[in-house]
A and B are shown apart, each in its own frame.
Chain A
């Protein structure tokens, strides 16, 4: 169980970093964000660490705790887009880099500003498209 304000705080930093990537077109900055996403999949996001070290102690206790799995799922999707975008920018396929970064930025900004939960919206849609037969119960 985690403080839900942690992922929101992390989503704001992610938003600013991805915005900077779009402005500068820096594949290396996007690579750094991809590494952050990868650590986030393991629940070791540096942004989360920043929240726990610097922010949480200044706030009141959270009203409600949230499960950690949805956040990790979002980090996994973020990583996929950041990885594709990094390859795009570093290989000179700027449009691919921009499209992938824009998609990741949109998801991070929706999460930060509106509390949008990516796992809620896409996980079941994805599951629905996979055939029921052969799926372990």
Chain B
């Protein structure tokens, strides 16, 4: 009985988690993150920046890096920046990063236009850039 309950609840949690994993959500434009990028010692892209937060114990961070690097190479003026979340906890708290990988898509002015927690799909990132890059 206990086993069935645990498996049922876990399945529900898993389905919910899976449905949200890597989904690219639109964010209401906040302050520019250009000062934050400077603080991290990173340059923004000319037209947009893919800001990825990673950590040591994150299995899909590598796959996310590959996807975002490919997109940055494909779309001119877009730069991929990967940050070790653990080394910048103040920035992580300020930007409310809860898990890795988390990807923020910044427009040319450094404002967040979209964000994805979990590895995003390549097509979703490209579509999101279509909105971030006029």
Contacts and interface: CB of A to CB of B under 8 A. Distances in A.
Interface of A: 4, 19, 22-23, 64, 66-67, 69-71, 73-74, 98, 102, 105-106, 109-110, 113-114, 116-117, 119-121, 123-125, 127-128, 130, 132, 135, 137
B54 to A, nearest CB: 9
B59 A137 contact: no
Interface of B: 2-3, 6-7, 9-11, 13-15, 17-18, 55-63, 66, 85-87, 89-90, 92-93, 97-101, 118
Contacts, number: 99
Would you call the interface of chain B mostly helix, strand, loop, or mixed? helix
Contacts of B87: 137
B98 A124 contact: yes
A71 B14 contact: no
A114 B118 CA distance: 13
Given A22-B2, A70-B59, 8 more contacts: A71-B59, A105-B10, A109-B11, A110-B14, A119-B56, A120-B57, A130-B89, A132-B90
12 contacts: A4-B59, A23-B3, A64-B66, A67-B62, A70-B58, A70-B59, A106-B6, A106-B10, A109-B14, A119-B59, A120-B55, A120-B118
Would you call the interface of chain A mostly helix, strand, loop, or mixed? helix
A120 B3 contact: no
Contacts of A102: 2, 6
Contacts of B61: 67, 120
